[in-house]
Amino acid sequence: MVKENIPTAANFIAAIISADINASKNDGRVLTRFPPEPNGYLHIGHAKSICLNFGLAKDFGGLCNLRFDDTNPTKEEQEYIDAIMEDVRWLGFDWEDRLYFASDYFEKFYEFAVFLIRKGKAYVDSLSADEIREYRGTLTEPGKESPYRNRSIEESLELFERMKNGEFPDGSHVLRAKINMASGNLNLRDPVMYRILHASHHRTRDRWCIYPMYDFAHGQSDSIEGITHSICTLEFEDHRPLYDWFIEELELAAHPQQIEFARLNLSYTIMSKRKLVRLVADGHVKSWDDPRMPTISGLRRRGYTPESIRDFCDRIGVAKKESTVDMALLEHCLREDLNLRARRVMAVLKPLKVVLENYPEGSVEHLDAVNNPEDAGAGTRKVPFSRVLYIEQDDFMEDPPKKFYRLAPGREVRLRYGYFITCMRVVRDEESGEIVELRCTYDPETRGGNAPDGRKVKATLHWVSAEHSVKAEVRLYSHLFKKENPAAVEEGGDFTANINPHSLEILHNCRVEPGLAEVLPETIFQFERLGYFCADRYDCIAGRLVFNRSVTLRDTWAKILKKG
């Protein structure tokens, strides 16, 4: 790596790496890794870690591995592995041929364990799990040594081998590191290294019935792979002395440097996998990739782009201090990205029929509409206009309050790319009294949206032609939780109490421009005046249009309403 090309440090971790390169540490090499445990789908917090690990490697001319820390066979599944790989790729990162599994190192870990027993640095303990917990002490009280702690090396070696051979039931013995039961750091009070677990592993099948603890696997995996900078979240700060202890006692040559950063917390969102699993298992959402989920696959299905997520991760930066990022920032990043790229179209979510009484029956015009005002190259398209149209129910009020400028009886407004129309009469359903139709007139002189006499209108409405438009289902999503911090619950309460019962509203009778009839899944549009909408990845198929609202546009009327 050429030193002149080292980028200026974007954050404190980049500064550390930069200094390491300057000092020729690790021969100037940079190798990071993203180490998920395959026990759930990746979420936006993981995206931060992915962008950081792959991003730093790229910035410093290094590489980043993908490694599954798969040490817990009871919670891990192939489905999660597949989903994780798909999500990392979709985000735009590539581990090339550097795909690793901690389970690939099980043999090595076993040898490491034997090495520590031989050295007198590990022993088989035969206390029960409850007893071990009891003996562990607390933050204010030192722990107590197990009566098995001074068992002979030979006895521990023999028991450990018999543990491996499947001679003992789960929970009857564990292997522990012999460090210090009085340490102020609880992680150093003879932590468990191995436990007996008669469970089949998704990769090693029934080869093992003892499994290493995460803390005995993680640091060694990094060392085996020659990771230079092990970047992880703050909760591992207290584990660092233990990881260092293992690597030193194992006399391993490669000693990765662990650097901790604050995890991402996002308002109106939970990030704990344990809780996300529950949302899916208990049916609060439909699946891991439900567009309300903070998972990468959920965000994708909602209409988030890899670019917007990477931009978000860039903007939130990296710090040493916990904080909560406002969900509005994530939404902002999506709007910024889509504003430049998304094609504008017209769609009416809650249709109200408009009949133009003076428009010739049976006649159709094809009006020019701009595809994207932010991108001249996107060109224009033709939109059919005819005597019977749909506008949005919300764009009409029979008795409008002061600041409502849209359509009302006797009032003139502009139809986007079309004509000025004036509302002459309201037609009601005889039984329900509901407004079912507006009878209007149009001014043929205003084609394209301007009056030759210079008269102005205060509102421009979107619309579709009744006969030409296509039916669509639209799913309106809002926050999955009512509270900014969903984890904050009354004593004895559960986070599910904070679930927003109105996070999904499905509209079945929406109408969209005919040009959308053949839309491909995952195409994102701006529905003019409404927001950005994404053709659902799975449910939008030929003959059945389904759109997810990704994010709204800012609605000034809603703000006025709010202010009361």
d(C-alpha 342, C-alpha 360), whole Å: 34
d(C-alpha 192, C-alpha 174), whole Å: 7
Place of tokens 């102005």: 456
In the set 28, 36, 143, 191, which binds ligand ATP (CB under 6 A)? 36
Are 523 and 540 within 8 A, CB to CB? Answer: no
Q: Is 48 in the site for ligand ATP (CB under 6 A)?
A: yes
Secondary structure (DSSP) of 520-548: PTT-EEEETTTEEEEE-TTT-BTTBEEEE
Establish whether 77 is a catalytic residue: no
Are 74 and 200 within 8 A, CB to CB? Answer: no
Are 301 and 477 within 8 A, CB to CB? Answer: no
- Among the listed ranges 1-9, 38-46, 116-124, 404-412, the one in contact with ligand ATP (CB under 6 A) is 38-46
Q: Which is nearer to ligand ATP, 272 or 380 (CB)?
A: 272
Establish whether 437 is a catalytic residue: no
Q: Which is nearer to ligand ATP, 299 or 457 (CB)?
A: 299
Q: Which is nearer to ligand ATP, 88 or 440 (CB)?
A: 88
In the set 26, 28, 32, 37, which binds ligand ATP (CB under 6 A)? 37
User: By C-alpha distance, which of 235, 330, 309 is closest to 46?
Assistant: 309
Give me the residue whose beta carbon is nearest to ligand ATP: 45
Characterize the bridge pairing of strands 412-415 and 460-461: parallel
What's the min distance (Å) between Cβ of 224 and ligand ATP? Answer: 17
Q: Which is nearer to ligand ATP, 84 or 383 (CB)?
A: 84
Are 357 and 335 within 8 A, CB to CB? Answer: no
SS3 at position 208: coil
Q: Which is nearer to ligand ATP, 28 or 45 (CB)?
A: 45
What's the min distance (Å) between Cβ of 43 and ligand ATP? Answer: 7
Q: Is 67 in the site for ligand ATP (CB under 6 A)?
A: no
Q: Which is nearer to ligand ATP, 48 or 475 (CB)?
A: 48
What's the min distance (Å) between Cβ of 219 and ligand ATP? Answer: 13
In the set 13, 28, 46, 228, which binds ligand ATP (CB under 6 A)? 46
Secondary structure (DSSP) of 71-109: --TTT--HHHHHHHHHHHHHHT---TT-EEEGGGGHHHH
Q: Which of residues 155-184 bind ligand ATP (CB under 6 A)?
A: none
Which one from 263, 341, 350, 353 is the annotated catalytic residue? 263
Q: Is 356 in the site for ligand ATP (CB under 6 A)?
A: no
Establish whether 37 is a catalytic residue: yes
Q: Which is nearer to ligand ATP, 35 or 298 (CB)?
A: 35
Question: What's the token pair of residue 33?
Answer: 């890794």
Q: Which residue pairs, CB below 8 angstroms and at least 24 apart, start in 309-312? A: 309/44, 309/47, 309/51, 309/91, 309/333, 310/47, 310/51, 310/91, 310/92, 311/336, 311/337, 312/44, 312/47
In the set 39, 422, 450, 500, which binds ligand ATP (CB under 6 A)? 39
Q: Which is nearer to ligand ATP, 110 or 214 (CB)?
A: 214
Beta bridge partners of 435: 428
Question: What's the token pair of residue 8?
Answer: 């200026």
In the set 28, 35, 212, 351, which binds ligand ATP (CB under 6 A)? 35
In the set 49, 156, 460, 498, which binds ligand ATP (CB under 6 A)? 49
What's the min distance (Å) between Cβ of 395 and ligand ATP? Answer: 41
In the set 18, 28, 32, 45, which binds ligand ATP (CB under 6 A)? 45
**First vs last Cα of the chain: how many Å apart?**
61
Count, residues near ligand ATP per rule CB under 6 A: 14
Which one from 33, 273, 292, 549 is the annotated catalytic residue? 273
Q: Which of residues 254-293 bind ligand ATP (CB under 6 A)?
A: 263-264, 271, 273
d(C-alpha 318, C-alpha 341), whole Å: 28
Q: Summarize as ranges the residues that interact with ligand ATP (CB under 6 A).
A: 35-37, 39, 45-46, 48-49, 232-233, 263-264, 271, 273
Residues annotated as catalytic (active site), given as ranges: 37, 263, 273
